Amino acid sequence: MKKTKQVIFSLLIVSVLLISLTSVSAFNLVDWLKSLISKDVSLSPLPAPVLTATPVSSSQIDLRWTNALTGNKTNSSYAFQLSRALSPAGPWTGIVGTTLLAWNDKGLSPDTNYCYRVRMYTREDRNGTYSNIACARTFPLP
């Protein structure tokens, strides 16, 4: 939303300059601005990451996800919100926000199913679509 407001403000500044420097009528310029504003000037949606969950012990599940926007490279302009639930239906609890593409969820209960989802977000408060739900079961105690 912040980015959209910046775009509209920039268009208004350009409009004032065009009116003052050219013979463009204010009426034609207003129509042109209305046509631009009526279109969706927001940025394209953030892609949904692809998430995998791998149990590695009775108390840890390793999580990995993709970032198609940056070619799977870490980029501080984008962060990820990881959520966990005991079933795919939820309820979901946010467990970490990170710029990394992996997280080791530790301190879990043995022989328990955990489900995860992740989504990308930006500094401009743009939230992406949630990833697939990935579930894994921690190992039972020996």
Q: pLDDT (tens digit, 9 = 90+) per residue, 18-61?
A: 555 555 555 565 665 555 555 444 456 778 889 999 999 999 99
By percentage, how much of the chain surpasses pLDDT 70?
Answer: 63
What CA–CA distance (Å, rounded) separates 15 from 7?
Answer: 12
Nearest of 121, 113, 123, 136 to residue 49 by alpha carbon: 121
Looking at the predicted structure, is the pLDDT value of residue 105 above 70? yes
What CA–CA distance (Å, rounded) separates 20 from 95?
Answer: 54
Instruction: Write down the pLDDT at residue 78.
Output: 81
Q: What's the mean per-residue pLDDT of the chain?
A: 79
Instruction: Write down the pLDDT at residue 110.
Output: 98
